[in-house]
Protein backbone atom coordinates (compact mmCIF):
# COMPACT_ATOMS: atom_id res chain seq x y z
CA UNK A 1 0.00 0.00 0.00
CA UNK A 2 1.35 3.41 -0.96
CA UNK A 3 2.20 5.69 1.97
CA UNK A 4 0.29 8.63 0.53
CA UNK A 5 -2.87 6.46 0.48
CA UNK A 6 -2.25 5.30 4.03
CA UNK A 7 -1.80 8.81 5.34
CA UNK A 8 -4.59 10.46 3.35
CA UNK A 9 -7.53 9.54 5.63
CA UNK A 10 -6.09 11.08 8.83
CA UNK A 11 -5.32 14.37 7.10
CA UNK A 12 -8.75 14.47 5.50
CA UNK A 13 -10.41 13.72 8.80
CA UNK A 14 -8.37 16.37 10.62
CA UNK A 15 -9.28 18.87 7.92
CA UNK A 16 -12.97 18.32 8.58
CA UNK A 17 -12.47 18.56 12.33
CA UNK A 18 -10.73 21.90 11.76
CA UNK A 19 -13.53 23.02 9.46
CA UNK A 20 -16.09 21.94 12.05
CA UNK A 21 -14.43 23.83 14.91
CA UNK A 22 -13.27 26.98 13.07
CA UNK A 23 -15.64 29.99 13.28
CA UNK A 24 -14.73 30.95 9.74
CA UNK A 25 -16.66 27.90 8.55
CA UNK A 26 -19.54 28.30 11.02
CA UNK A 27 -22.35 28.57 8.41
CA UNK A 28 -21.15 25.39 6.68
CA UNK A 29 -20.69 23.66 10.01
CA UNK A 30 -24.27 24.52 10.96
CA UNK A 31 -25.65 23.18 7.67
CA UNK A 32 -23.66 19.96 7.99
CA UNK A 33 -24.72 19.39 11.59
CA UNK A 34 -28.41 19.79 10.81
CA UNK A 35 -28.27 17.65 7.69
CA UNK A 36 -29.48 14.15 7.19
CA UNK A 37 -26.89 11.92 5.47
CA UNK A 38 -26.36 13.37 2.00
CA UNK A 39 -23.49 13.07 -0.44
CA UNK A 40 -21.07 15.91 -1.20
CA UNK A 41 -18.63 16.03 -4.15
CA UNK A 42 -15.38 14.06 -3.67
CA UNK A 43 -15.79 13.54 0.10
CA UNK A 44 -19.22 11.88 -0.03
CA UNK A 45 -21.10 11.64 3.29
CA UNK A 46 -18.03 11.61 5.53
CA UNK A 47 -18.36 15.25 6.76
CA UNK A 48 -21.98 14.65 7.79
CA UNK A 49 -20.97 11.44 9.57
CA UNK A 50 -18.17 13.23 11.48
CA UNK A 51 -20.30 16.23 12.46
CA UNK A 52 -23.29 14.13 13.55
CA UNK A 53 -21.72 10.98 14.96
CA UNK A 54 -23.83 10.92 18.14
CA UNK A 55 -27.02 11.71 16.19
CA UNK A 56 -26.41 9.37 13.29
CA UNK A 57 -28.99 6.76 14.29
CA UNK A 58 -31.83 9.28 14.28
CA UNK A 59 -30.58 11.12 11.19
CA UNK A 60 -30.20 7.90 9.20
CA UNK A 61 -33.67 6.84 10.37
CA UNK A 62 -35.09 10.07 8.97
CA UNK A 63 -33.35 9.44 5.67
CA UNK A 64 -34.59 5.85 5.54
CA UNK A 65 -38.17 6.93 6.25
CA UNK A 66 -38.01 9.44 3.42
CA UNK A 67 -36.25 7.23 0.90
CA UNK A 68 -37.76 5.13 -1.86
CA UNK A 69 -37.81 1.52 -0.67
CA UNK A 70 -36.62 2.51 2.82
CA UNK A 71 -32.95 2.17 1.93
CA UNK A 72 -30.02 4.27 0.68
CA UNK A 73 -26.32 4.04 -0.12
CA UNK A 74 -23.74 5.67 2.15
CA UNK A 75 -20.82 6.89 0.03
CA UNK A 76 -17.52 7.92 1.58
CA UNK A 77 -14.64 9.74 -0.16
CA UNK A 78 -14.42 8.44 -3.72
CA UNK A 79 -10.72 7.46 -3.43
CA UNK A 80 -11.41 5.19 -0.41
CA UNK A 81 -14.05 3.08 -2.16
CA UNK A 82 -16.45 3.29 0.80
CA UNK A 83 -19.88 2.11 -0.37
CA UNK A 84 -22.36 0.92 2.24
CA UNK A 85 -25.94 -0.15 1.58
CA UNK A 86 -28.22 0.83 4.49
CA UNK A 87 -31.72 -0.61 4.77
CA UNK A 88 -34.74 -0.65 7.05
CA UNK A 89 -36.87 -2.74 4.72
CA UNK A 90 -38.11 -6.13 6.06
CA UNK A 91 -38.08 -7.57 2.53
CA UNK A 92 -34.37 -6.69 2.23
CA UNK A 93 -33.73 -8.10 5.73
CA UNK A 94 -35.37 -11.42 4.94
CA UNK A 95 -33.30 -11.80 1.77
CA UNK A 96 -30.04 -10.80 3.47
CA UNK A 97 -30.35 -12.85 6.64
CA UNK A 98 -32.55 -15.80 5.65
CA UNK A 99 -33.15 -16.46 1.95
CA UNK A 100 -29.60 -15.77 0.72
CA UNK A 101 -27.80 -15.93 4.05
CA UNK A 102 -24.67 -17.60 2.64
CA UNK A 103 -23.93 -14.60 0.41
CA UNK A 104 -23.74 -12.17 3.32
CA UNK A 105 -21.04 -13.23 5.80
CA UNK A 106 -19.50 -10.98 8.43
CA UNK A 107 -16.52 -10.73 6.08
CA UNK A 108 -12.77 -10.15 6.21
CA UNK A 109 -12.97 -6.50 7.29
CA UNK A 110 -15.25 -7.37 10.21
CA UNK A 111 -12.84 -10.15 11.21
CA UNK A 112 -9.90 -7.72 11.15
CA UNK A 113 -11.73 -5.10 13.21
CA UNK A 114 -12.66 -7.68 15.86
CA UNK A 115 -9.37 -9.58 15.74
CA UNK A 116 -9.26 -9.73 19.55
CA UNK A 117 -12.19 -12.16 19.47
CA UNK A 118 -10.40 -14.52 17.07
CA UNK A 119 -12.66 -17.16 15.49
CA UNK A 120 -15.39 -16.77 18.10
CA UNK A 121 -19.09 -17.32 17.43
CA UNK A 122 -19.95 -13.64 16.83
CA UNK A 123 -17.04 -13.03 14.44
CA UNK A 124 -16.36 -16.19 12.46
CA UNK A 125 -18.07 -17.37 9.27
CA UNK A 126 -18.48 -20.76 7.61
CA UNK A 127 -17.58 -24.03 9.31
CA UNK A 128 -15.84 -22.36 12.26
CA UNK A 129 -18.99 -20.41 13.08
CA UNK A 130 -21.15 -23.55 12.70
CA UNK A 131 -18.92 -25.45 15.13
CA UNK A 132 -19.21 -22.72 17.78
CA UNK A 133 -22.96 -22.36 17.27
CA UNK A 134 -23.77 -26.06 17.56
CA UNK A 135 -21.90 -26.28 20.87
CA UNK A 136 -23.51 -23.12 22.27
CA UNK A 137 -26.97 -24.19 21.15
CA UNK A 138 -26.70 -27.59 22.85
CA UNK A 139 -25.74 -25.93 26.12
CA UNK A 140 -28.19 -23.00 26.11
CA UNK A 141 -31.18 -25.11 25.11
CA UNK A 142 -30.71 -27.54 28.01
CA UNK A 143 -33.17 -27.36 30.90
CA UNK A 144 -30.38 -27.61 33.49
CA UNK A 145 -28.59 -24.57 32.11
CA UNK A 146 -31.75 -22.46 32.08
CA UNK A 147 -32.53 -23.47 35.65
CA UNK A 148 -28.99 -22.44 36.59
CA UNK A 149 -29.47 -19.02 34.93
CA UNK A 150 -32.69 -18.45 36.88
CA UNK A 151 -31.03 -19.47 40.18
CA UNK A 152 -28.04 -17.24 39.48
CA UNK A 153 -30.30 -14.28 38.69
CA UNK A 154 -32.30 -14.79 41.88
CA UNK A 155 -29.17 -14.90 44.04
CA UNK A 156 -27.70 -11.75 42.46
CA UNK A 157 -31.00 -9.92 42.98
CA UNK A 158 -31.10 -10.86 46.67
CA UNK A 159 -27.41 -10.39 47.48
CA UNK A 160 -26.37 -7.48 45.25
CA UNK A 161 -29.25 -5.65 43.53
CA UNK A 162 -31.55 -5.31 46.53
CA UNK A 163 -28.81 -4.13 48.95
CA UNK A 164 -27.58 -1.57 46.41
CA UNK A 165 -31.05 -0.11 45.82
CA UNK A 166 -31.86 -0.07 49.55
CA UNK A 167 -28.64 1.88 50.12
CA UNK A 168 -29.41 4.33 47.27
CA UNK A 169 -32.94 4.94 48.56
CA UNK A 170 -31.82 5.43 52.18
CA UNK A 171 -29.16 7.95 51.10
CA UNK A 172 -31.59 9.76 48.75
CA UNK A 173 -28.86 10.04 46.11
CA UNK A 174 -29.02 10.25 42.33
CA UNK A 175 -27.53 7.14 40.73
CA UNK A 176 -26.70 6.16 37.17
CA UNK A 177 -28.96 3.14 36.72
CA UNK A 178 -27.25 2.30 33.42
CA UNK A 179 -23.95 1.84 35.26
CA UNK A 180 -25.76 -0.31 37.82
CA UNK A 181 -27.22 -2.53 35.08
CA UNK A 182 -23.81 -2.85 33.43
CA UNK A 183 -22.29 -4.02 36.71
CA UNK A 184 -25.13 -6.43 37.44
CA UNK A 185 -25.05 -7.89 33.92
CA UNK A 186 -21.26 -8.18 34.06
CA UNK A 187 -21.35 -10.09 37.34
CA UNK A 188 -24.04 -12.46 36.05
CA UNK A 189 -22.24 -12.88 32.71
CA UNK A 190 -18.83 -13.73 34.18
CA UNK A 191 -20.60 -16.16 36.49
CA UNK A 192 -22.53 -18.18 33.92
CA UNK A 193 -19.80 -17.94 31.25
CA UNK A 194 -16.62 -18.45 33.28
CA UNK A 195 -17.81 -19.50 36.76
CA UNK A 196 -16.50 -16.31 38.42
CA UNK A 197 -18.48 -13.63 40.27
CA UNK A 198 -16.38 -10.44 40.27
CA UNK A 199 -18.84 -8.57 42.51
CA UNK A 200 -18.67 -5.25 40.66
CA UNK A 201 -22.18 -4.26 41.83
CA UNK A 202 -21.53 -3.06 45.37
CA UNK A 203 -22.45 -0.04 47.45
CA UNK A 204 -19.11 1.68 46.85
CA UNK A 205 -19.18 1.06 43.06
CA UNK A 206 -15.45 0.47 42.95
CA UNK A 207 -13.81 0.15 39.54
CA UNK A 208 -12.93 -3.31 38.30
CA UNK A 209 -9.94 -3.68 35.95
CA UNK A 210 -11.64 -6.41 33.88
CA UNK A 211 -14.77 -4.34 33.32
CA UNK A 212 -12.63 -1.29 32.57
CA UNK A 213 -10.63 -3.28 30.01
CA UNK A 214 -13.84 -4.37 28.25
CA UNK A 215 -14.98 -0.73 28.05
CA UNK A 216 -11.63 0.37 26.59
CA UNK A 217 -11.66 -2.41 24.01
CA UNK A 218 -15.28 -1.73 23.03
CA UNK A 219 -14.54 1.98 22.47
CA UNK A 220 -11.52 1.15 20.33
CA UNK A 221 -13.47 -1.38 18.27
CA UNK A 222 -16.15 1.19 17.50
CA UNK A 223 -13.46 3.68 16.55
CA UNK A 224 -12.15 1.10 14.07
CA UNK A 225 -15.62 0.63 12.66
CA UNK A 226 -16.37 4.30 11.92
CA UNK A 227 -12.90 5.28 10.73
CA UNK A 228 -11.29 4.38 7.36
CA UNK A 229 -9.34 1.14 7.67
CA UNK A 230 -5.92 2.59 6.67
CA UNK A 231 -6.11 5.08 9.53
CA UNK A 232 -6.77 2.69 12.40
CA UNK A 233 -4.20 0.27 10.99
CA UNK A 234 -1.63 3.07 11.03
CA UNK A 235 -2.53 3.88 14.65
CA UNK A 236 -2.21 0.18 15.49
CA UNK A 237 1.24 0.03 13.89
CA UNK A 238 2.31 3.13 15.85
CA UNK A 239 0.71 1.88 19.07
CA UNK A 240 -1.04 5.15 19.91
CA UNK A 241 -4.53 6.43 20.79
CA UNK A 242 -7.41 3.96 20.90
CA UNK A 243 -5.15 1.23 19.57
CA UNK A 244 -2.76 1.58 22.50
CA UNK A 245 -5.66 1.37 24.97
CA UNK A 246 -7.13 -1.63 23.17
CA UNK A 247 -3.81 -3.49 23.27
CA UNK A 248 -3.55 -2.84 27.02
CA UNK A 249 -7.16 -3.91 27.58
CA UNK A 250 -6.60 -7.04 25.50
CA UNK A 251 -3.66 -8.05 27.68
CA UNK A 252 -5.75 -7.65 30.84
CA UNK A 253 -8.57 -9.75 29.38
CA UNK A 254 -6.18 -12.46 28.17
CA UNK A 255 -4.61 -12.68 31.64
CA UNK A 256 -8.06 -12.94 33.28
CA UNK A 257 -9.25 -15.61 30.84
CA UNK A 258 -6.05 -17.64 31.21
CA UNK A 259 -6.52 -17.64 34.99
CA UNK A 260 -10.16 -18.78 34.90
CA UNK A 261 -9.40 -21.51 32.36
CA UNK A 262 -6.61 -22.79 34.60
CA UNK A 263 -8.87 -22.67 37.67
CA UNK A 264 -11.66 -24.62 35.90
CA UNK A 265 -9.05 -27.13 34.66
CA UNK A 266 -7.79 -27.73 38.23
CA UNK A 267 -11.37 -28.22 39.44
CA UNK A 268 -11.97 -30.90 36.82
CA UNK A 269 -8.65 -32.70 37.43
CA UNK A 270 -9.12 -32.68 41.21
CA UNK A 271 -12.80 -33.66 40.96
CA UNK A 272 -13.95 -30.63 42.90
CA UNK A 273 -17.59 -29.56 42.85
CA UNK A 274 -18.23 -26.16 41.31
CA UNK A 275 -21.22 -24.20 40.03
CA UNK A 276 -22.04 -24.95 36.39
CA UNK A 277 -20.75 -22.57 33.74
CA UNK A 278 -20.35 -22.48 29.99
CA UNK A 279 -16.58 -22.74 30.31
CA UNK A 280 -16.64 -25.77 32.62
CA UNK A 281 -19.24 -27.49 30.45
CA UNK A 282 -17.02 -27.10 27.39
CA UNK A 283 -13.89 -28.19 29.25
CA UNK A 284 -15.53 -31.43 30.38
CA UNK A 285 -15.81 -32.47 26.73
CA UNK A 286 -12.70 -34.35 25.67
CA UNK A 287 -12.43 -32.83 22.19
CA UNK A 288 -12.04 -29.28 23.51
CA UNK A 289 -10.29 -30.02 26.80
CA UNK A 290 -6.87 -29.03 25.49
CA UNK A 291 -8.00 -26.31 23.06
CA UNK A 292 -7.04 -23.09 24.82
CA UNK A 293 -7.76 -21.07 21.68
CA UNK A 294 -11.36 -22.31 21.46
CA UNK A 295 -12.00 -21.73 25.17
CA UNK A 296 -10.49 -18.24 25.13
CA UNK A 297 -12.53 -17.18 22.10
CA UNK A 298 -15.72 -18.56 23.64
CA UNK A 299 -15.23 -16.61 26.87
CA UNK A 300 -14.27 -13.31 25.28
CA UNK A 301 -17.06 -13.41 22.68
CA UNK A 302 -19.80 -14.14 25.18
CA UNK A 303 -18.46 -11.68 27.76
CA UNK A 304 -18.87 -8.81 25.30
CA UNK A 305 -22.23 -10.01 23.98
CA UNK A 306 -23.97 -10.90 27.24
CA UNK A 307 -22.98 -7.94 29.41
CA UNK A 308 -23.76 -5.03 27.13
CA UNK A 309 -26.87 -6.21 25.30
CA UNK A 310 -28.79 -7.23 28.43
CA UNK A 311 -27.84 -4.12 30.38
CA UNK A 312 -28.86 -1.85 27.49
CA UNK A 313 -32.24 -3.57 27.22
CA UNK A 314 -32.88 -3.16 30.96
CA UNK A 315 -31.82 0.51 30.92
CA UNK A 316 -34.23 1.50 28.15
CA UNK A 317 -37.01 -0.57 29.68
CA UNK A 318 -36.69 1.13 33.06
CA UNK A 319 -36.67 4.49 31.29
CA UNK A 320 -40.01 3.49 29.71
CA UNK A 321 -41.39 2.65 33.18
CA UNK A 322 -40.42 6.12 34.39
CA UNK A 323 -41.88 7.84 31.33
CA UNK A 324 -45.13 5.89 31.08
CA UNK A 325 -46.64 5.41 34.57
CA UNK A 326 -49.74 3.70 33.17
CA UNK A 327 -47.52 0.94 31.76
CA UNK A 328 -45.86 0.50 35.15
CA UNK A 329 -49.28 0.30 36.83
CA UNK A 330 -50.42 -2.50 34.52
CA UNK A 331 -47.20 -4.40 35.12
CA UNK A 332 -47.65 -3.96 38.88
CA UNK A 333 -51.17 -5.39 38.59
CA UNK A 334 -49.75 -8.46 36.84
CA UNK A 335 -46.97 -8.85 39.42
CA UNK A 336 -49.55 -8.71 42.23
CA UNK A 337 -51.38 -11.62 40.60
CA UNK A 338 -48.52 -14.14 40.89
CA UNK A 339 -46.70 -15.77 43.79
CA UNK A 340 -43.42 -14.40 45.05
CA UNK A 341 -40.95 -15.06 47.85
CA UNK A 342 -40.10 -12.46 50.49
CA UNK A 343 -36.53 -12.04 51.71
CA UNK A 344 -35.47 -11.30 55.29
CA UNK A 345 -35.37 -7.62 54.31
CA UNK A 346 -39.03 -7.70 53.33
CA UNK A 347 -38.35 -7.45 49.58
CA UNK A 348 -40.02 -9.57 46.92
CA UNK A 349 -38.17 -11.90 44.53
CA UNK A 350 -39.99 -13.51 41.62
CA UNK A 351 -39.48 -16.92 40.03
CA UNK A 352 -38.84 -17.17 36.29
CA UNK A 353 -41.73 -19.64 35.76
CA UNK A 354 -44.23 -17.26 37.37
CA UNK A 355 -43.08 -14.31 35.26
CA UNK A 356 -43.57 -16.34 32.07
CA UNK A 357 -47.33 -16.10 32.64
CA UNK A 358 -47.43 -12.30 32.40
CA UNK A 359 -48.56 -11.20 28.94
CA UNK A 360 -48.47 -7.41 29.36
CA UNK A 361 -45.04 -7.50 31.00
CA UNK A 362 -43.64 -9.52 28.11
CA UNK A 363 -45.32 -7.24 25.56
CA UNK A 364 -43.80 -4.19 27.26
CA UNK A 365 -40.30 -5.65 26.97
CA UNK A 366 -40.84 -6.38 23.27
CA UNK A 367 -42.10 -2.83 22.73
CA UNK A 368 -39.03 -1.40 24.46
CA UNK A 369 -36.76 -3.54 22.27
CA UNK A 370 -38.66 -2.46 19.15
CA UNK A 371 -37.84 1.20 19.78
CA UNK A 372 -34.47 0.64 21.42
CA UNK A 373 -32.84 -2.59 20.17
CA UNK A 374 -29.68 -3.39 22.12
CA UNK A 375 -27.73 -3.84 18.88
CA UNK A 376 -29.07 -1.09 16.60
CA UNK A 377 -27.19 -2.17 13.45
CA UNK A 378 -26.53 -5.52 11.76
CA UNK A 379 -23.50 -5.46 9.45
CA UNK A 380 -22.64 -7.85 6.63
CA UNK A 381 -20.36 -8.09 3.57
CA UNK A 382 -21.38 -8.98 0.02
CA UNK A 383 -19.71 -12.17 -1.25
CA UNK A 384 -21.17 -12.48 -4.79
CA UNK A 385 -23.18 -10.14 -7.05
CA UNK A 386 -26.82 -10.13 -6.00
CA UNK A 387 -30.08 -8.32 -6.66
CA UNK A 388 -32.39 -7.68 -3.73
CA UNK A 389 -36.17 -8.22 -4.04
CA UNK A 390 -36.51 -4.42 -4.02
CA UNK A 391 -34.36 -4.24 -7.19
CA UNK A 392 -31.13 -2.95 -5.62
CA UNK A 393 -27.98 -4.46 -7.13
CA UNK A 394 -25.12 -5.28 -4.76
CA UNK A 395 -21.58 -6.09 -5.79
CA UNK A 396 -18.78 -8.02 -4.03
CA UNK A 397 -16.87 -6.01 -1.44
CA UNK A 398 -19.80 -3.78 -0.51
CA UNK A 399 -20.95 -3.51 3.07
CA UNK A 400 -24.60 -3.98 4.01
CA UNK A 401 -26.13 -2.48 7.15
CA UNK A 402 -29.64 -3.32 8.38
CA UNK A 403 -30.78 -0.67 10.84
CA UNK A 404 -32.93 -2.33 13.50
CA UNK A 405 -33.18 1.08 15.17
CA UNK A 406 -34.78 2.58 12.06
CA UNK A 407 -37.01 -0.45 11.44
CA UNK A 408 -38.70 0.12 14.79
CA UNK A 409 -39.58 3.65 13.66
CA UNK A 410 -41.01 2.90 10.22
CA UNK A 411 -44.66 3.76 9.59
CA UNK A 412 -44.64 1.28 6.71
CA UNK A 413 -43.91 -1.50 9.22
CA UNK A 414 -45.62 -0.49 12.47
CA UNK A 415 -48.23 2.06 11.42
CA UNK A 416 -48.80 5.75 12.07
CA UNK A 417 -48.23 5.32 15.81
CA UNK A 418 -44.79 3.73 15.31
CA UNK A 419 -43.05 6.27 17.56
CA UNK A 420 -45.42 5.65 20.48
CA UNK A 421 -44.56 3.25 23.29
CA UNK A 422 -47.57 0.96 23.04
CA UNK A 423 -47.31 -2.59 24.49
CA UNK A 424 -50.87 -3.25 23.32
CA UNK A 425 -49.62 -3.64 19.74
CA UNK A 426 -48.15 -6.99 20.83
CA UNK A 427 -51.40 -8.34 22.33
CA UNK A 428 -54.25 -9.88 20.33
CA UNK A 429 -57.97 -9.33 20.94
CA UNK A 430 -57.99 -12.70 22.69
CA UNK A 431 -55.34 -11.43 25.14
CA UNK A 432 -52.51 -13.55 23.75
CA UNK A 433 -49.10 -12.42 22.50
CA UNK A 434 -49.03 -11.59 18.80
CA UNK A 435 -46.42 -13.17 16.58
CA UNK A 436 -44.32 -10.89 14.40
CA UNK A 437 -41.86 -12.27 11.83
CA UNK A 438 -38.26 -12.09 13.05
CA UNK A 439 -37.17 -10.26 9.87
CA UNK A 440 -39.61 -7.49 10.82
CA UNK A 441 -38.65 -7.43 14.51
CA UNK A 442 -34.85 -7.81 14.61
CA UNK A 443 -33.58 -7.16 18.16
CA UNK A 444 -32.66 -10.84 18.42
CA UNK A 445 -31.67 -10.96 14.74
CA UNK A 446 -33.12 -13.56 12.39
CA UNK A 447 -32.17 -16.55 10.26
CA UNK A 448 -29.28 -18.93 10.99
CA UNK A 449 -27.48 -16.31 13.13
CA UNK A 450 -30.46 -15.48 15.33
CA UNK A 451 -29.62 -14.94 19.00
CA UNK A 452 -29.10 -18.17 20.94
CA UNK A 453 -29.34 -16.33 24.25
CA UNK A 454 -32.78 -14.83 23.63
CA UNK A 455 -34.57 -16.81 26.35
CA UNK A 456 -31.71 -16.34 28.81
CA UNK A 457 -31.76 -12.57 28.23
CA UNK A 458 -35.55 -12.35 28.59
CA UNK A 459 -35.45 -14.39 31.81
CA UNK A 460 -32.82 -12.10 33.34
CA UNK A 461 -34.60 -8.92 32.21
CA UNK A 462 -37.93 -10.08 33.66
CA UNK A 463 -36.49 -11.21 36.99
CA UNK A 464 -34.42 -8.06 37.49
CA UNK A 465 -37.03 -5.52 36.38
CA UNK A 466 -39.82 -7.24 38.33
CA UNK A 467 -37.74 -7.15 41.52
CA UNK A 468 -36.97 -3.47 40.93
CA UNK A 469 -40.35 -1.99 40.05
CA UNK A 470 -42.26 -4.08 42.62
CA UNK A 471 -40.03 -3.05 45.52
CA UNK A 472 -38.89 0.44 44.48
CA UNK A 473 -40.03 3.60 42.70
CA UNK A 474 -37.74 5.33 40.20
CA UNK A 475 -37.77 8.97 39.16
CA UNK A 476 -35.59 10.47 36.44
CA UNK A 477 -33.35 13.20 37.86
CA UNK A 478 -34.49 16.74 37.12
CA UNK A 479 -33.01 18.10 33.89
CA UNK A 480 -31.66 14.73 32.75
CA UNK A 481 -32.56 13.91 29.13
CA UNK A 482 -31.54 10.40 27.99
CA UNK A 483 -30.01 10.20 24.51
CA UNK A 484 -29.02 7.13 22.48
CA UNK A 485 -25.30 6.68 21.96
CA UNK A 486 -24.11 5.79 18.45
CA UNK A 487 -22.19 2.60 19.09
CA UNK A 488 -22.36 -1.16 18.56
CA UNK A 489 -24.59 -1.28 21.64
CA UNK A 490 -27.45 1.18 22.19
CA UNK A 491 -26.33 2.61 25.51
CA UNK A 492 -27.47 6.01 26.74
CA UNK A 493 -24.86 8.65 26.01
CA UNK A 494 -24.95 10.21 29.51
CA UNK A 495 -26.33 7.28 31.42
CA UNK A 496 -29.76 7.21 33.08
CA UNK A 497 -29.74 9.32 36.24
CA UNK A 498 -32.53 8.46 38.68
CA UNK A 499 -33.61 8.73 42.31
CA UNK A 500 -34.73 5.56 44.07
CA UNK A 501 -37.44 5.28 46.70
CA UNK A 502 -38.56 2.16 48.50
CA UNK A 503 -42.26 1.40 48.01
Q: Which residues are annotated as a binding site for heme?
A: 451
DSSP class of 344:
T
CA distance 379 to 469: 35
> Per-residue DSSP letters for 350-389?
--HHHHTT-HHHHHHHHHHHHHS-SS-EEEEE--S-EE-T
Which among 367, 392, 374 has a CA at the least distance from the CA of 382?
Answer: 392
Q: What are phi and psi of 270, to 5 degrees?
A: -85, -5
Distance separating alpha carbons of residues 222 and 491, to the nearest angstrom: 13
CA quadruple 21, 26, 29, 31: dihedral, nearest 10:
170
- Alpha carbon 434 to chain centroid, angstroms: 24
Output the known binding site.
451
| 434, 381 Cβ separation under 8 angstroms | no
How many angstroms separate the Cα of 64 from the Cα of each of 46, 61, 410, 488?
18, 5, 8, 19
Q: Of 435, 434, 499, 437, whose CA–CA distance to 472 is shortest? A: 499
Contact present, 36 and 51 (Cβ < 8 Å): no
Amino acid sequence: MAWHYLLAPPFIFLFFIFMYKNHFFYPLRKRIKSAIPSSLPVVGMLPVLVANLNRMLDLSSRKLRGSNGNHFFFHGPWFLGMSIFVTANPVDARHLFIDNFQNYPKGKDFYEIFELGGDGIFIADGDTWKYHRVKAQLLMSSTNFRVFIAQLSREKIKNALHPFLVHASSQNIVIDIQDMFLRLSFDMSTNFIAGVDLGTLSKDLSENPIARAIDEVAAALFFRFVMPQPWWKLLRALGVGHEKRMAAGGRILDHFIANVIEERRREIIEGRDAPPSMLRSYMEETEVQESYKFLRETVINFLFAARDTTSAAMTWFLWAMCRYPHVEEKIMDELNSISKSITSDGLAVFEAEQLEKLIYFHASILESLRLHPSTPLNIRSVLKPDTLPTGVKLTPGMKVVASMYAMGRMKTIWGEDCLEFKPERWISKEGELKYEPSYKFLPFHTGPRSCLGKQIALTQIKMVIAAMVYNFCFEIAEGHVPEPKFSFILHMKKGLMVRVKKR
